């Protein structure tokens, strides 16, 4: 069997020292452009493949990743943080350090400040929930120039220089919600009340765009949009006002969080005809209970366990300067009362006053 080429073989082929090859292959220091080009050409000619595990062991390397997650009353983001903390504990023995930072939701200034702070620290990769803001785009570009991998998680920033996106296709999620709403209307006219946290959140905006696209010309109109800032008190007040002002609303689509407020309004429904059809995102304790109690009809869940696992795997590949593995978009799960999975062991009854 033909033996695999070694660093010594690369050095001989390139006509440079072993130390120079080591610095180029393992990115350990600066090398003259001419020497670097010779090494890279020799690597290509010989088909040398870097032994990542051996290199990391030799350098006693610890991967340092940071995940920036919005703070606030959004129960889904707390679920993501819980999954990240469990992953961090499991990966610690494999020399992978995962830090979780929380910033205010829908705050591009705070996100930019967090990214600027990370730029001054030894970090190998960053995952963040994307937002639409030129200042954040600029901060990502600066990190990328320094060789820091950046992955958007849950909400994408396709106009930025981020390396990859891990999450569902939110445009398709909105179209899916529209399709389910149309099925429920069975060809009859109606009006859908859309709710988002903020349109600056790309995932929320894409979901509403998908909803509008699929409902166009269907006879089911879209009522004026509610921005609830993912706060259940704001959502409750605005939904109650919208339903009082517009008795023709036949469906509600919540593309964001703050759903505990929506559930409270529906729980107090006493009008006729029956309450509007309700579609929400994310299977949390509160949304599970609302589904079981008949307060809502459908939950679209984006499977955050898969998102976190794929995100950390992508960051590790890029930190090792390996090609990214395939990152197919997450296919969301659609739940109704009859197909709910077994509740997590840590699930508990959640009062409607709590976040969702």
Tokens 């903020």 correspond to 198
Residues contacting residue 43 through CB under 8 Å, at least 6 positions apart: 10, 25
Q: pLDDT confidence of 92, banded at 50, 70, 90?
A: confident
- Determine the pLDDT at residue 105: 94
Q: Whole-model pTM?
A: 0.82
Q: Let me know if the fold of 62-168+304-325 is the same as that of 170-301.
A: yes
- Structure tokens given for 218: 């269907």
Asked if the model's pLDDT at residue 353 lies above 70, the reply is no
Asked if the model's pLDDT at residue 9 lies above 90, the reply is no
Of the candidate ranges 196-200, 325-329, 351-355, the one whose mean pLDDT is the lowest: 351-355
Of the candidate ranges 167-171, 228-232, 319-323, the one whose mean pLDDT is the lowest: 319-323
- Structure tokens given for 335: 């739940």
Q: Which of 250, 186, 184 is nearest to 221 (CA)?
A: 250
Average pLDDT of the chain?
Answer: 90
Cα gap 347→82, rounded to integer Å: 13
Asked if 295 contacts 352 with a C-beta cutoff of 8 angstroms, the reply is: no
- Determine the pLDDT at residue 354: 56
CATH architecture entry for 170-301: 3-Layer(aba) Sandwich (3.40)
Of the candidate ranges 86-95, 145-154, 267-276, 342-351, the one whose mean pLDDT is the lowest: 342-351
What number is the average pLDDT over the span 322-329? 83
Q: 7-58: what fold? A: 434 Repressor (Amino-terminal Domain) (1.10.260)
- Determine the pLDDT at residue 68: 98
Residues contacting residue 109 through CB under 8 Å, at least 6 positions apart: 135
The CATH code that applies to domain 62-168+304-325 is: 3.40.50.2300
Asked if the model's pLDDT at residue 156 lies above 90, the reply is yes
- 57 or 98, which is more confident: 98
What number is the average pLDDT over the span 83-98? 91
Cα gap 106→330, rounded to integer Å: 23
- Determine the pLDDT at residue 57: 46
What number is the average pLDDT over the span 170-183? 98
The ranges assigned to domains in the chain are 7-58, 62-168+304-325, 170-301
For the chain, strand residue ranges (E) read 63-71, 96-104, 125-128, 149-153, 164-166, 190-196, 220-222, 226-227, 251-254, 277-281, 298-301, 333-335
Of the candidate ranges 15-24, 91-100, 334-343, the one whose mean pLDDT is the lowest: 15-24
Asked if the model's pLDDT at residue 51 lies above 80, the reply is no
């Amino acid at each position: 069997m033909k033996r695999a080429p070694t660093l010594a073989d690369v050095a001989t082929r390139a006509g440079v020292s072993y130390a120079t090859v080591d610095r180029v292959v393992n990115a350990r220091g600066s090398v003259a452009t001419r020497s670097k080009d010779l090494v890279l050409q020799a690597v290509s000619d010989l088909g040398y493949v870097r032994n990542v595990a051996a290199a990391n062991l030799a350098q006693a390397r610890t991967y340092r990743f940071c995940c920036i997650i919005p703070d606030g009353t959004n129960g889904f983001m707390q679920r993501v943080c819980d999954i990240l903390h469990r992953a961090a504990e499991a990966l610690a023995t494999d020399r992978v350090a995962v830090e979780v930072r929380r910033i205010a939701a829908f705050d591009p200034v705070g996100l930019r400040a967090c990214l600027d702070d990370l730029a001054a620290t030894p970090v190998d990769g960053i995952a963040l929930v994307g937002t639409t803001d030129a200042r954040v785009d600029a901060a990502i570009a600066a990190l990328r120039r320094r060789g820091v991998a950046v992955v958007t998680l849950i909400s994408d920033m396709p106009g930025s220089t981020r390396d990859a996106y891990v999450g569902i296709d939110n445009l398709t999620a909105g179209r899916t919600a529209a399709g389910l709403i149309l099925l429920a209307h069975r060809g009859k006219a109606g009006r859908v009340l859309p709710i988002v946290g903020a349109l600056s959140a790309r995932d929320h905006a894409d979901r509403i765009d998908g909803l509008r696209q699929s409902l166009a010309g269907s006879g089911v109109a879209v009522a004026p949009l509610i921005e609830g800032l993912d706060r259940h008190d704001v959502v409750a007040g605005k939904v109650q006002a919208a339903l009082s002002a517009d008795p023709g609303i036949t469906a509600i689509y919540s593309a964001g969080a703050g759903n505990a407020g929506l559930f409270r309004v529906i729980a107090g429904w006493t009008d006729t005809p029956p309450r509007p059809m309700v579609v929400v995102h994310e299977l949390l304790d509160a949304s599970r209970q609302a589904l079981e109690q008949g307060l809502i009809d459908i939950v679209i869940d984006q499977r955050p366990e898969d998102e976190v696992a794929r995100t950390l795997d992508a960051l590790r590949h890029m930190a090792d300067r390996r090609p990214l593995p395939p990152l197919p978009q997450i296919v969301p799960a659609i739940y109704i009362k009859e197909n709910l999975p077994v509740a997590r062991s840590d699930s508990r009854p959640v009062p409607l006053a709590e976040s969702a």
